[in-house]
Amino acid sequence: MAFQCHPDRHQETDEAHKKMQELNEAYVILSDPIKRREYDVPRGYGSRVPKFNKGSKVKISSNSPSLYRGHTGFVDKEPVKDTFRFWYMVRIESKGLTAVRRFAEEELKGPDH
């Protein structure tokens, strides 16, 4: 659609410019998983199920702002869902100490990734 509606193909008309702006805004929302979820959930699209369950082994992703990024742990409790995501309590053992911290679903991945 971007190719078909590009202003260069339509001599920079106001209609082509407006359509291209709409396409760009849609792309920004659809290409970002968090913004996409924020758009979909209130509209009832894509009922979500948790990615991990209690006892699942998970790894804290490298883009997480947590001090535990890169560590592996286990989901300590069943996840809690809010409007936009699932939240997980993860038990992490490091250097003989155990910590339980809360993480958003997008901060976790399976241990094989």
Q: pLDDT tens for the chain, 113 residues: list them.
A: 777 777 777 666 788 788 888 888 988 988 888 888 777 766 666 567 888 999 999 999 887 788 888 999 999 999 998 877 899 999 999 888 999 999 999 899 987 75
Domain boundaries, the chain: 2-43, 57-109
Name residue, tokens 């929302």.
29
